[in-house]
Each structure stands twice: as structure tokens, then as C-alpha cells.
Structure 1
Amino acid sequence: MSRACENTVVVGCGAVSVDFLAIVAAYPKPDEKIRTTSFKVQGGGNTGNALTCASRLGLKPRIISKVADDTQGREVLRELEADGVDTSFMAVSLEGTSPFTYVIVDSQTKSRTCIHTPGYPPMKPVDLPKSSLLTALHGAKIVYFDGRLHETALVVAHEAVKKNIPILMDAERLREGLDDILKLADYVVCAAQFPQAWTEASTVPKALVCMLLRLSNIKFVIVTLGKDGCIMLERSFNEGPSTEEMEVDRLLESLETRKNRSSHIPTCITSSVTKLHAEGIGTVCGKLYVGTAENVPPSELIDTTGAGDAFIGSVLYAICANFTPEKMLCFAATVAASKCRAIGARTGLPYHTDPRLATFMK
């Protein structure tokens, strides 16, 4: 673990759940009856998973979310606490039900299908007293949101801004209240479909330029692409008179040609500081990065559930440890690949002592 990260507090606000993971030989056809090849019950939810990852890497996470006082809710809390996540800011409803998700893992295609049932009653700002909020944020290096519990999340985000605590936003898909927090965010990590869905741009690179133009606080935005790695656009303030201007799609194409196709370990290719132009959208000064995923052999690839959460937990750590962008993207890809070698979102999450992470933790 990086010495810079010892006892570093991070706060996350968002989803927790119980995942019922059914592994099947192939996804069933309508009206078909099949059997699982294996089954696992495990804690889930984007924020629960990302903070579990961050804790195993060496951070001190505090979580803001809500469960009911039922068997599933108690198990969610127990599992998070066992992994070193501080649950003292969680709301527990005496009545209602805790959130849960049915996850069907297709062994043939290595895909997963999620059917989520939200908890009831939902979390509201009244569930987080001001004194608890201030205590939760005390000493925090960064605050993370997954787009859920938007009313409570916005209260937390505004308080974080007052205290100059940077915000990392997980933009998985369009959600109610998401834009309000995006406007306050310093860093954004997106799922593959989000940038174009949010901006209506014709390509992902154009969409990333559009996001930086619309969201003036953003230092970088990353879009994760599964086995195809990721793309990152970092804002630059070092524009000089000689800074080259280039069409962003063309720049991405040129970086893609430099990928080392024979490498099995994650790599990162980067541009110089460039005026990135998106036709019909505008121009932003920044650096474009292309990160590759680890090439996991098919025999070792078990389940992709929570791979994005593992990536985000790693980015949280990387920001706290002041990693370079290149090191951060390779680190996050390595952690996500480790997760994919086991069933569920948490089983395969590595600890900071894992030999596969040794080169990053020096």
C-alpha cells in the first residue's frame, strides 16, 4: 500500500444490496426451466462494491446508504463491516425491505443480467442528520456517488463542495437527479453507453469533449469499455500558442493504432496536450488516453458482475495515492481483471498485498 494512502478516508453515497447470483450454462429461453451450475449470495450495489474494493486496497471508506432491519439488511452491514467499511452512517429502517438483485451469469457468453428490486422505504435526506453528515465528511479525501439516492446524495455533494472535498461521479446511465451532482463533480467515470446518451454526440470521443465543455469543474472523464479497455479525456490548462489542434476522432484512431496487441497486461497510450475539436460541438484543450484491459484467458474468466465497481474503487485509490493517469488506468484494469476471475462483485477483489498489484503499490 502506498504510504500516501495510509488511513486515508473516502466517503461513498449510493446503492447497497444483496446479490443472488445464479450461474447457468446458458441464458434461458422464454418459458424454459433450467438449473444453476452454482449459486452464491453476496453483498452488492455499486457503492457497496466500490468501497469494498477501496477498503481492500488500503483506504478507510465510510458509506452512506439505507437498508431495512431484516435478515438481508443485517447481512449487508455485517459483510461491509467485515471488509473494513464504516457503516455507522447507514440508515436502518425498522420496517420495509432491503434492496436485492437477481443476477444471472451466463457461462457461455460470460455476460450477466441483473434484475434489481429497490429497498423500501427509500432513503431521504431526513435519514442523514446534519451532525452525522458532518462527521462522515470529516477528514475525507474524496466523496463518491453512484447516481442513486439522488436527494440525499445532493445534500452530501453540496456539503462536500463547501468543504472543498473533490467528488467522483459514477455515471452508469441516465438517472433522476444525476445532472445536479454531475455539475458539482471533479471526476467522472462512465459506462460505455452514457457519454453519447447524455450528450447525443455521434461518437464517444466527441461526447467526451462535449462533457468537458458542459461540465466546467471536471478534471477528467473516463469511459469504461469492458474487454476493450477504456478511454480517458483529461482537461489541460497548459495550452500554448504552439498547441496543435486535431479532430478528436482522428486523434483517437491514431492512438488506437499504437496499441500493443500482443501484450496481455494492461497498457496505456497517451496523446500530447492538444486542442481537441469535435465538429458541431466545440474545442477543449486536453490529453486523450487509451487504456487496454487485461487479456484474461477464457478459462479464467468467470463473472463480470461488478467489474465497473472494481474499476471505480481502484480510481478512488489512485486519486488518493496521486498516481499518474497512465498508472491509474493500468492499475484499475488489473484490479477489475482480478475481480472477473471469481463469482460475484466482491469475491475476486484483490487486497493491497496481492502480488499482482506489487508493481503499483511501491
Structure 2
Amino acid sequence: MAGKIFDVIGIGLSCVDLVMKVPKFPEVDEVVVTLEYGKHFGGVAANAIVALARLGAKVGFIGKIGADSFGDDILNEFKKVGVDTRGVIRDKDFGSPLSFIQVDNQGDRKISHYPGPAPFMSPQDVEPLRDYIASAKIIHLDGINPHSAIRSAEIAKEEGTLVSFDLSTSLEAVEIFGLTREDVINFVKPMDVFIPCKLAAKGLTGEDNFEEAAKKLLEIGPSTVAITLGGGGCVAANRKEVVKKPAYMVEVKDTTGAGDAFHGGFLYGLLHDWSLDKTAQFANAVAAIKCQYFGARSGLPTEREVEKFLKTAEPL
């Protein structure tokens, strides 16, 4: 991929996460005292891009945010970690994307989300960014707006850029946006890399056996598939092999963004032409390290920190 300036450009949602640590989730009309509070930053593709930046990759981001103080915070946070922001669009008609997240003592979470202008990013918004998309080795999509994501993927294919797609929700959740299972399958077909969560993988294939699910997903079209299994680690597959790698034993403080951290680690391995086994192991380690911190981006490691972790890490 000679002539490519960026390793990966993410396209999708970037938001502010207001995170509260609670002893338990409140019942209806119940008030619980928050033990810890913080303003963090999120968004599936955005988090993966920040993970890649921390690992040492050269990255950028395309997305739509509000022309408000939260939008300023989002841009400043990107710039702080070295994410190029020339593809970020400011929209004066909407507030920036915002999530309210509660995390309990077990590290489980509940999320309320206001998407802001992100779902309204159109193919027309993407079109002027053709050269920017063409400057990346890989674009990573979260599909928050299928129409702009599809156009981004088409441009990438025309320009010799690989396309990665993260589906980190169930098919039932996708249906809220008016998409059917067939729509999702058609979206996945041209992808080079597909990284679904276990709920999405099962919904698309009907398989409880995730090694078999990975094989079926390859038949749809992608050349590489990785299924995130939470505490079960991951299953990864390409045309040559299928591997299953365990998660790692850590003190879990917050699982928010763990899947996104995995995506960043996995794409980092692909960028370096590592074996599928090493790539999956590395991605699991990035996710495990992140889970020891509150907030979707807190604790994201450097490559050296991952290597150090793997020397003593115990698999679950």
C-alpha cells in the first residue's frame, strides 16, 4: 500500500461519555449514591482509532459532532492522543453525541445514549473526503449511518483502501434503524475485515458454535473475521485457519470500550502482517488491559505495555 499516509481512518460516531460508578443499578424511582464520576470519550470507531494511536499507528477520524462545548472536548481529546481531525464535521443544528453510563461493582454497565448529528452524516458529507479516505491503508466503520458508511466503503474500494466493519450490537438493535438481517449481510459482503460481537455473529449465522459462525461469516465475503466473546476471548478466522484465543485474568473495573480496544489491537496486528494467532492474542491483551480502568479510553496501552503484559498474563 505504497503512498498511503494513514494506517487507519475511523468513520462513525464520536461522543462524550459521562460515567458514574454505582454500588448497584437503581430500580425505578430509586436514588443510588455515585461513588465515582468522570467525563470520558467514546464511540465505537473513535475508540478503536484512539487505541491504534496509543499503540503507535498513524490515524484519523471522520464523523459529525455538534458546534458546542462537548464537540470542542471531543476534538481536543482526539488531538491530545495524535488523531488527525480534518475529517470531523461540525453541525450547528444538533448537540454533540452524549452517553450517560452507569458501571456497577462487577464492572457491568448500563448506557443511555443521545446520538446527536452522527446518524445524519450523509453520502454527500463523505464525498468531499475521497482523497482523505484514499490516504489510509484501512478505514474502520461502525455503521452508525449505513448510507454514509456504504459510500465510504465504495470510495475505499475504488482507491485501494481496505475496509473494516465493527458490528458491536445485536441484530434486534440494528432493526431500530430500519435495517433487516439481509441489509446487514449485504453491507458485510464487500468488507475485507468483519469484527462482530457474539450476539451479531449468532444473529447472522444462527450458530452457537463460534468457530462455525466464523466460517459462515467468511462465506459472506470478508477475508478476515474476528468474533468478540467478552470473557470468552475471541474467535478469529481467515481463508487458511480458525483460531480461538482466551481472554486474560485481570481485575475488571469497567468493560466499557473493551470491544473497541480489541478492534484497535486486531487492526494493529493486521497492519503489521502478524499471524492470525498473534493478532488475536494481542487484541485480547489490549482489551484486558483497558478493562482495568474506568472509561472507554482510559488505560489504553502502548505496544510495549502489551508486550510486557503478555509475559506474565494468565488466560481465563
Q: TM-score, normalised by structure 2?
A: 0.88
1:112-142 per-residue CA deviation (whole Å, 9 max, x = no partner) reads 11111111372122223x34x2221233111
Q: CA RMSD, aligned part only?
A: 2.1
Distance 2:35 2:229 in 1: 28
Shift of 1:16: 0.8
In structure 2, relative to structure 1, the CA distance for the partners of 1:339 and 1:21 (3 Å cut) is same
Shift of 1:180: 4.0
Aligned counterpart for 2:255 among listed residues 279, 282, 304: 304
Distance 1:64 1:137 in 2: 9
Please say if residues 150 and 178 of structure 1, whose CA atoms lie closer than 8 Å, have aligned partners that are also in contact. Answer: no
Please say if residues 7 and 59 of structure 1, whose CA atoms lie closer than 8 Å, have aligned partners that are also in contact. Answer: no
SS at match of 1:167: strand
1:172 partner amino acid: S
2:122 partner amino acid: K
Distance 1:147 1:57 in 2: 24
Distance 1:146 1:327 in 2: 24
Q: Which residue of 2 aligns with 1:259?
A: none
Q: Which residue of 1 aligns with 2:102?
A: 104
Distance 2:115 2:186 in 1: 22
Distance 2:131 2:67 in 1: 23
Distance 2:87 2:159 in 1: 18
1:76 partner amino acid: I
Q: Which residue of 2 aligns with 1:54?
A: 52
Distance 2:132 2:5 in 1: 14
Shift of 1:82: 0.9
Alignment of 1:33-182 (within 5 A): 33-107=31-105, 109-120=106-117, 122-128=120-126, 130-131=127-128, 133-173=129-169, 174=171, 175=174, 176=179, 178-182=184-188
Please say if residues 19 and 102 of structure 1, whose CA atoms lie closer than 8 Å, have aligned partners that are also in contact. Answer: yes
2:243 partner amino acid: Y
Instruction: Give yes or no for the alignment of 1:291 onto 2:245.
Output: yes
Q: Identity over the aligned pairs, expressed in percent?
A: 31
SS at match of 1:75: helix
Please say if residues 24 and 32 of structure 2, whose CA atoms lie closer than 8 Å, have aligned partners that are also in contact. Answer: no
1:196 partner amino acid: K
1:119 partner amino acid: G
SS at match of 1:65: strand
Quick check: which has more Rg, 1 or 2?
A: 1
Please say if residues 15 and 43 of structure 2, whose CA atoms lie closer than 8 Å, have aligned partners that are also in contact. Answer: yes
In structure 2, relative to structure 1, the CA distance for the partners of 1:26 and 1:153 (3 Å cut) is same
In structure 2, relative to structure 1, the CA distance for the partners of 1:153 and 1:39 (3 Å cut) is same
Structure 2: give runs of 5+ residues left out of the alignment: 312-316
Shift of 1:8: 4.6
Higher helix share: 2
2:301 partner amino acid: P
In structure 2, relative to structure 1, the CA distance for the partners of 1:136 and 1:303 (3 Å cut) is same
How many pairs align?
A: 298
Please say if residues 147 and 178 of structure 1, whose CA atoms lie closer than 8 Å, have aligned partners that are also in contact. Answer: no
